[in-house]
Each structure stands twice: as C-alpha cells, then as structure tokens.
A and B are shown apart, each in its own frame.
Chain A
Amino acid sequence: MSDKPKAIKGAASTSDEFDYSAGLAVIPADKIADPGLEPHHVRMTDKSKKHEKAAARQVALLFFVSIIGSAAALVIYFLFPLSTTEFGPVRENTFWLGLAIALGTLALGIGAVHWAKTLMPAAEQAEARHQTRGSEETRARAVEIIKLADQESGFSRRKLIRRSLYTALAFFPLPGILVFGDLGPNPGSTLRHTKWAKGVRLVHDPYGAPIKASDVTEGSVFHVVPENIDPEDHDYLEQKAKAAVLLVGVNPEDLTIAPDRKGWDYDGIVAYSKICTHVGCPVALFEQDTHHLLCPCHQSTFDLNKGCEVIFGPASRPLPQLPITVDAEGYLIAQSDFHEPVGPSFWDRSIN
C-alpha cells in the first residue's frame, strides 16, 4: 500500500480485489505454474572489487569528458564570431559548437547510465499492484458525498435553477467565439476577381517589363503578372496570388480551341492561370514537347493543347484561360479578367 499516493487513490483496500468478468478469455485449468522471478543476475562489478573500481573510474572519466565538452563549447562560442555586416563562419560555428555541446551532454548521459548499470543494484524488485478501482468502502463514500452535495445544494430538486444554469453555461462562451469574428473580413466576391482587366499589359514576373507578342517564340514560357500591381502595394502578394499567369508560345496548329474561346489566344500564344484548380500550388512545369503542364505539389497534369484540361492527378477542372491580344505597340494585353474564379474550388464557386 505504501506505493499508492493517497491523494489519487483514496483509501484503497489491499484485500478482496474486485473480480471482473474475463469475457471470451479461456481460463486454463492446468496452466503451467509460474516459477517466480529468475535468480539475480550477477555482474562482474558485483563479484570483483577491481571491476567495480574500474567502472567507477569510467563513470568519473565520462563526467570529466563532459566537462571538457561543455568547456570547449564556451571557447568555441568566441572562436567563430558572426557579425551583422559580413558573412561569417556560420558552418564552422554550427559544427564545432554543436559538436562540443553534444560531447558535453552525451558523455554526461552515458556516464549516468553507465553508473546505474554497473554500480547501482542490478536486482529486479517486485512491488504489489492493485486494481485501479477504489475499494467498496471508498466507492460508497464517494456516492455518499455526491448525494450529500446534491441534497445540500438541491441540484436535482430545484429544476429551475438547474436548467437556467445549463442555459447560462451554454450562452457564456458565445461572446468568446464571436469576438473572433474580426479575424477576417467577409470574403465577398474577392475570390472571383483579379487585377486583370481589358487592356492591362502582361509583364514579366518579377521585374515588370512588358512583353511583345514577337518575343514569345514557340516553346518558350513567360511567367507573367498584370502591369497594374506593384510590389509597393499593400495587397501585392494577395493580388499576385490570384493573378499569376503562365504565358506559353506554341505552334497554333497544335491548339484545339473550344468554340467559346475563339480569339482568346494570340497567334499560338496562350495565357493560363498558374494557380492549380486543386489546392492552389503554382502549376508551372511546362513540357515543351508534350505541351503538358504539371503541378509539382500533387502532380495534377493539364494538357495545354486542349484548353488545359486535366489529364492526370487529383485536380478536376481545367486551368482558367486569360483572353489576350496585343495593343497598338505590339505588347500583349488582357482582353478582360478571367471568365471564372481562379484557383481551388470553393462552395459557391459556380453560383454567380
């Protein structure tokens, strides 16, 4: 009993432990008898003073090595200084500092374990274990306490108090939930629009140079953003996250153009949203020969020749196409925004 913390167990009894049902267990009639604990294992350090002394020396040596390691770490800290103005010996700093600390901790730990294994008693001991449930007496007392509490408070008796308490407790967390309402704004229609609009030039990501149709040779790929977003804008990344486009030049004869998308390309130059319709990774791997676009995150594959329809992987919808044309100076411009929301699907995506 001495091992049972009273605070946890209450007054558990050592005798008469509760007899539980064994369920489907087969209780063997003539089980082979338990021979009891095996005899204690005798170590060299138990038998010989010489070994015991050697082990003690080893433990002390390990602790001494640990001191050396930790002390070395102190020195190394100053040996490889890093500065805020010049690239310093980061690799050396990391390596030597880590090595020294590791030596300090490993030797310390190994020493302690070695001590326990060789010099502390090796004899296994048995200690009684009791069932987790309280004794009948304890349980009876627990029930009594609950009944008493109920009686004294009238919890069961006073329905009105009890029910109003439940209701109050149910209402209490609601303001706590509501205050999180300002974590973010009403999404509104933000997912449906991008910065692309009629006449907006397609420019290089990230440096913003406009692109002439004649620059987009067959087999080349341009990573493009609209000219009307600026890194200085507060919402630059949010806009870029929706508006990133892949501009590809292919042989116009290779393209199969759906009737409702006639005129969206410009002489074999097509622009598609780079944001995967699966979960939104940039689909940027273009294979020049096969005209396949691959998403590196989940391997959705889109066929650029056929309106970027999905030919493999978990995506379901084609990448949205950006209708493009050229302006008077020969620079590529958008005809309009995308005709559908870009990126991953969402609940009311198809409802306008």
Chain B
Amino acid sequence: MATAVNTRKKGGVLAGTANYLDERVGVAGILKEFGRKIFPDHWSFMLGEVALYSFLILLLSGTFLTFFFQPAMTEVIYNGVYGPLKGARMSIAYASTLDISFEVRGGLLFRQVHHWAALLFVAAAGLHMLRVFFTGAFRKPREINWVVGFALFVLGMAAGFTGYSLPDDLLSGNGLRIIDGMIKGVPVIGVWISSLLFGGEFPGHNIVARLYSLHIMIVPALILVFLAIHLFMVVIHKHTHYSGPGRRDDNVVGYPLMPVYVAKAGGFFFIVFGVIMLIAATFTINPVWNYGGYDPSPVSAGTQPDWYIGWLDGALRLAPTHIETVDAWGNTWSWNILLPLIVGVLFLVVVAAYPFVEAWITGDKREHHVLDRPRNTPTRTAVGAAGVTFYAVLWAGAATDLIATNFHMSLNQVLTSAQISLFVLPVVAFYVTKRLCLSLQRKDREIVLHGRESGRIVRLPHGEYVEVHEPVDAYTQYKLVDYKDYKPTLARPNAAGKITAGARVRASLSKFYFEDRIAPVTQGELDAAHHDHHEAVEAAPVAEVKAVTAKKAPAAKKPAAKAAPAAKKPAAKAAPAAKKPAAKKAPKKD
C-alpha cells in the first residue's frame, strides 16, 4: 500500500483508489498500524467469532424479516394459505408471521435462519465465556472486557426474549404471561410495571409493538455498541495466547491479520453462515402454525422458553411449595417468584464480579497475556465446574416434564431430584474437578521429570520387565512447566497494626484457592531427575533400570506406578519434589 501512496502515477485503479482514500481518511496509516497485527491461532479463540458472525447473520436475516412482519395486535380473520387456520381469529402480528412462512419465497427459510442463529449466538457467546473463564483470560488487563462480554451475553438473552415474543402465537403468549406473573410478584411496584409494560391489563394491544422496537432497535444497538467496545479492547490488549515455548506475557505469537487471518476469519464467516443455512433448510424451528394465535385460555404441554431463558424458568419450577407470605401490613411477598429471581441475579453478579474477586485474592497486579491451562488453576477450574453444574441443573429444571416423559420417570420425582441436585451436584463437581486437575498436574510433572510412557516393554538381563520412558522435547516440556504458581497468604495486620475482616476473608479465600497446589518443575528438580537417570535421558531403558531396581520387585510390573520410588532414593533427597512432595501443602504459619 505504501507504494500506492507514494507513487500516484504507477498502478491501476486499485492504487488510485488507495491514494484517494489515503488522502481523505488516512487509510495508509490505518493499514500500517493494523495490517500486520498478529493474531494467535487456536480453535478455542474462534468461539467468540461464531457468536459475532451469528449476530451479523441475525442482523441480515432480521432486516429481511422486518420488511414483512407487522407488529400489530389488532385482531383479524386469517385468510392466508395455511388450511388449519383459515378463518381463525388472530392478531396481525401472528398473521404476518404466517404470511412470511407460507407466502414469501425464502420467508420460512430466513425465519428459521434467524431463530437458529439466535440460539447459536447465545450458545456460542456462552461457550466463549467458558473458554475465557477456564483459561483465565479475564485477568488483568481484561477484567473490564469480561464485564463487557458479560453484558453482551445478558443483552443476547434480552434480544432473544423480545424476539421470541413477537409472533404472538400461543407459545410466546404464554411465555409473556409468565413474565407478567413474575413482574406482578415484584414487591410494591410490580402491578404498576406490568400495567406500564402491557399498556393496561395483560395481554393488551401494545406489547408486541413495544417488544418489537426493543428487539429491532434498542437491544441490537446496545449489542453493537458493546461489541465495538469488546473488539476495540481486544485490539488494545492484543489477543491472549496459550502457554508454550516462546509465548510470553510481553509478546504475541500467531499469524498476521493480512492475509492469513483475514482469509481464515473471513472464510469462517461464510462457514458459520453456511452451517446455519444448512440447519435452517433441514430442521424446523418454532413451527408457529402449530400453536395458533394467542388466546389466554389454552396452553400446550411442553411450554418452555428458548434455551437461554431456560435456567430462569427452571429456577421458577424448583421453588418450594407454599413459600409465599403475607406480612403484618397485608402485603404479599411472592417468594416463589422472588427467590428464583434473587438466585438468578446473584448468579449473574457472581459471574460478572469473578475477575475482581480472583484479582483481589491473588493480589497479582501484573498483566497476564499467557493463558492458563485449566488444570494449572485447579480451584478456579473447580469453581467454574460447580457454576456450570449449578446452571445446568437449573437449565434441566426447565425440562422436567420432557425428562419425565422421555425417560419414563415420575415428573414429581424428577423435580424433587432437581431441587436436591441444585445443592449437591455443584459440590460434587467442585471436588471431582479439583482432584482431576491436581492429578493431571502430577501427571504433567511426571512427564517432565521422567518422560512419557512409550508402551515399549523391555526385558532386563536379570529377567525383570520394565517399560521404557521416552523424554519429551524441550518445547513440550516448556509447555508443561510454564505456569504461574500461587501460595496462600496469612491475614496480616495493616499499617495501623490491625488485622481487618477483609484481610481475614482474603487469607481464608487464598487458602481455599491455593492450599492444594502443585508447583511447576524447576530446573533443579529436572537436573536431579536426570541425574537419577544417569544424565542420559536418551538411554531411557538404562535409566529406567536404575529407577526401577530401587523399587520392590512386584510393583515393578505395574507400569502405572513406575516412577514413585524415585522419591525414596537417596539421590532424590536433593530434589524432594520428584513425585509426591510435589503436592506441597502450604505452610500453616510462618
């Protein structure tokens, strides 16, 4: 491009255009800054892109739909082409949805594209959030971007919900009725809010048009603004990368934006579009014609919200019986609505606030651009697993009826089990995940110290069988040892000599987080281990002979227990972390 800018006379139309643009908007400078920006390449970094592209597809397909949809609740007699509704009384909104589906070429296709893309948008955003969480990508300097992303997720739910209600069919109408019931349960102002939202009594004649303006203007505009901030911050921070050789906090390793990333990311947009199109062409979503226009009297079995609202619906279902109370002044407290709402809001607050909590505990003020492997942060990963389980139980709670019928169980038992699971399963998930992470870390240490099991069994001259361990190369080895290690702190007095409550909480949280920790292998440990192996790691069989002969003979046949005796050897004393001691318990007091 630089050539184009400098030499106007050379080059063709392209150079001319480039020059024209540079002289007016400084395009050369922009290209110089961004054209060769490096983006790390990893599949899990593409999840946010799936969400982004789904959103673009939502904008495209949604715009098409707005050309045909009429958000009016005036009642008409349907005289369109769908037989089983001919002559039925319905709102204009529903009738125009039917017209889009049956009388516009590609109308049903784009309705389905829009709906599938919506489900995918929130799902991909959720999965992207999980990736960010489990790899610690939310750490400084990205805490604010985590909150922005969180806001995008919530806005995605809002966009989905407002869209879900537009066709004014029986399913979405009953969904709105549930919302109305929940709003009415809000203390003091509930009835007023309901009246303002619906323009009087439920269902009224206004709600579809109001949700429509939210759905096509305010919510997408907010999403666009937050998306811009989100991406802008990615540019400021540059993308994180996974730990590995040559990947440090002060560099970024990957491919240049132009041409590699443009081709990959640009191509990926078309792939996401194509996949959604393929699904929309072959799988029905929200067959509104089955539900009929909204009528407050009927309801269909299996009345559920779209998946991203499911966890809130599940929370409503799991509330215990008879918890509504009337206070001394005669005011009604609908705890069966408030409790699920509070639980839902608290959950969201914890999610949004997590980066700040962890930053406070670790007190680590450095910038982090190298991602954690989830196993290397066992407690965070376990907390995440518990959170995911909690969400999943609520989510499954919204499908109790389908679980009951499809697995031939009692609806009541399914619901009661879900109530119990909500408290039990996250705890189980926490412990299982944490143990799993610690075991994987031990495994990593062992690979670094003693190499990989090769599966090759060698018979020694004296008749003993041992498995050959192959050392890993320096690059793999570095990947396994390059992680940040934290140790718990004690509650220390502040400048005034007082131990504050905050310090105590932080101390106990740090204990909770880092008490069980497995430190990365140091060069000293590695040297000691190699020394054991006669400093001839390549001659693995010989080294193994040494290691194994020190061990009681019968155990030697079990390859899984191969390296344990190393710690017992005198030579290993110098490096106490050869195996077991690696799991350092934090010093109790210092």
Contacts and interface: CB of A to CB of B under 8 A. Distances in A.
Interface of A: 2-5, 8-9, 17, 20-26, 28-38, 77, 80-88, 90, 93-99, 101-117, 120-121, 124-132, 180-181, 183-187, 190-191, 205-206, 223, 225, 231, 235-238, 240-242, 244, 274, 276, 278-282, 284-285, 296-301, 310-317, 343-351
Given A83-B103, A129-B251, A238 B281 contact: no
Contact of B271 (A110, A132, A297): A110
A213 B323 CA distance: 37
B526 A32 contact: yes
A125 B362 CA distance: 32
- Across chains A and B, which 5 residue pairs bring their CB atoms closest together, nearest first? A98-B281, A279-B181, A23-B363, A112-B267, A109-B270
Interface residues of B, number: 152
B570 interface: no
Given A3-B37, A94-B112, A205-B297, A346 B184 contact: yes
Contact of A112 (B270, B277, B337, B519): B270
Contacts of A99: 278, 281-282
A146 B361 CA distance: 33
B202 A349 contact: no
A173 B244 CA distance: 52
A300 B236 CA distance: 52
Contact of B246 (A34, A87, A299, A346): A34
Contacts of B109: 93-94, 97-98
A344 to B, nearest CB: 4
A180 B196 contact: yes
Contact of A316 (B101, B267, B321, B488): B321
Contacts of B249: 129
B49 to A, nearest CB: 12
Given A35-B478, A115-B263, A351-B330, A24 B363 contact: yes
B264 interface: yes
B105 A97 contact: yes
A344 B103 contact: no
A347 B37 contact: no
A38 B200 CA distance: 68
B581 interface: no
A132 B237 contact: yes
Given A90-B108, A279-B177, A315 B321 contact: yes
Given A238-B204, A280-B177, A350 B330 contact: yes
22 contacts: A22-B366, A24-B488, A24-B514, A32-B477, A32-B520, A82-B105, A84-B103, A98-B109, A102-B277, A116-B259, A126-B253, A185-B199, A231-B89, A237-B296, A240-B295, A278-B181, A296-B302, A297-B178, A316-B323, A343-B184, A346-B184, A346-B190
B332 interface: yes
Nearest to A296: B301
B322 A23 contact: no
B45 interface: no
B221 interface: no
B310 interface: no
B366 A88 contact: no
B508 to A, nearest CB: 13
B255 A348 contact: no
B523 A31 contact: yes
Contact of B334 (A8, A24, A80, A344): A344
A351 B364 contact: no
A84 B78 CA distance: 12
Given A21-B364, A32-B478, A238-B201, A3 B489 contact: no
A294 to B, nearest CB: 8
Interface stretch (B79-87, B457-465, B494-502, B532-540): B79-87
B141 interface: yes
Please indicate which of the listed interface residues A35, A94, A231 has the most CB atoms of chain B within 10 Å of its own CB: A94
A347 B331 contact: yes
Given A299-B415, A312-B412, A343 B266 contact: no
Nearest to A297: B303
A38 B242 CA distance: 14
B197 interface: yes
A312 B109 CA distance: 42
Nearest to B271: A109
Interface in B406-430: 411-412, 415
A36 B475 CA distance: 8
B317 A313 contact: yes
Given A280-B177, A298-B317, A313-B321, A20 B296 contact: no
Contacts of A347: 186-191, 331-332
A109 B270 CA distance: 5
A67 to B, nearest CB: 13
Interface in B287-310: 294-303
A312 B321 contact: yes
A113 B245 contact: no
Given A37-B246, A95-B282, A120-B259, A126 B195 contact: no
A219 to B, nearest CB: 20
B251 A126 contact: yes
Interface in B348-370: 361-367, 369
B32 interface: yes
A23 B520 contact: no
A242 B581 CA distance: 70
A24 B489 contact: yes
A112 B264 contact: yes
Contact of B486 (A26, A242, A274): A26
B182 interface: yes
B316 A298 contact: yes
B33 A24 contact: no
B286 interface: no
B246 A105 contact: no
A191 B200 CA distance: 10
Interface string B193-210: 011111111111010001
A331 B200 CA distance: 33
B300 A113 contact: no
B559 interface: no
Given A24-B364, A98-B277, A316-B322, 9 more contacts: A9-B236, A106-B271, A113-B263, A132-B367, A185-B200, A279-B185, A282-B299, A314-B318, A346-B184
A121 B260 contact: yes
B154 interface: no
A299 B238 contact: no
Nearest to A232: B75
B337 A279 contact: yes
Interface string B500-538: 000000000010001000011111101000000000000
A38 B246 contact: yes
B379 to A, nearest CB: 12
